[in-house]
């Protein structure tokens, strides 16, 4: 009885595993069919070989960033390339490469003009001068300053009309003694 139960359990398990494997195989086949419907690497969009390779690279880049291009989007891309740089394949290739490097989803005019103009504007802008460049530094005569300070202190002392005590005389002597050094 245990043996028959094990056999039926094994058969049921085998059947479900087979069904799961069959579903996985069908899913893989469907995915490969979908991949085959995508644009192949051998497709030619333009006559110029290097430009065609650049377009294929851009299409591959768009797939890698999870934003694939449809056939209509590819036609619009080629039209935009022709509008931006008609009959100049090198410029079109450069625009495609610029878009890939920058991670853009579309193509834009080349940045060459911006780089050249920014270099010129940096050189053309005048440098603001410091407002204090022409400021003439004062030449201090410290002995004269000390004399002026002594005179001021003496005038204050005279104005107060206080009797000169020992502390004031010591301070005055100290000031006079310091100026001699």
What pLDDT does residue 37 have?
46
Q: Extract the residue ranges of the chain whose pLDDT is less than 70.
A: 1-3, 5, 27-42, 112-138, 160-165, 178-181
* Whole-number pLDDT of residue 34: 53
What is the pLDDT at residue 103? 93
Q: Determine what percent of the chain is predicted with pLDDT higher than 70.
A: 67
Position 64 scores a pLDDT of 93
Q: Are 57 and 100 in contact (CB under 8 A)?
A: yes
Provide CB contacts within 8 A for 49, sequence distance 6+: none
pLDDT at 135: 63
Quickly list DSSP for 120-135: HHHHHSPPPPPTTTTP
What are phi and psi for residue 55, nearest 5 degrees?
Answer: -65, -45
Residue (of 97, 104, 105, 111) closest to 57 by Cα position? 97
User: Could you tell me which residues come within 8 angstroms of residue 111 by beta carbon, excluding any fewer than 6 positions away?
Assistant: 98
Q: What is the pLDDT of residue 50?
A: 92
Domain range list for the chain: 36-110, 142-179
Res 137: pLDDT: 66
């Amino acid at each position: 009885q245990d043996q028959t139960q094990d056999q039926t359990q094994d058969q049921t398990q085998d059947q479900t595993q087979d069904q799961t494997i069959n579903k996985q195989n069908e899913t893989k086949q469907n995915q490969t069919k979908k991949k085959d419907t995508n644009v192949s690497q051998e497709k030619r969009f333009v006559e110029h070989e290097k430009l065609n390779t650049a377009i294929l690279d851009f299409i591959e880049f768009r797939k890698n960033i999870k934003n694939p291009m449809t056939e209509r989007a590819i036609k619009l891309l080629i039209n935009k390339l022709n509008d931006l740089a008609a009959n100049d394949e090198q410029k079109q290739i450069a625009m495609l490469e610029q878009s890939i490097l920058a991670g853009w989803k579309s193509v834009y005019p080349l940045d060459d003009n911006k780089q050249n103009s920014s270099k010129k504007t940096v050189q053309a802008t005048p440098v603001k001068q410091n407002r204090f460049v022409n400021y003439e530094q004062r030449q201090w005569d410290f002995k004269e300053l000390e004399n002026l300070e002594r005179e001021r202190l003496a005038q204050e002392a005279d104005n107060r009309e206080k009797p000169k005590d020992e502390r004031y005389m010591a301070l005055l002597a100290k000031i006079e003694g310091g100026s001699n050094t």
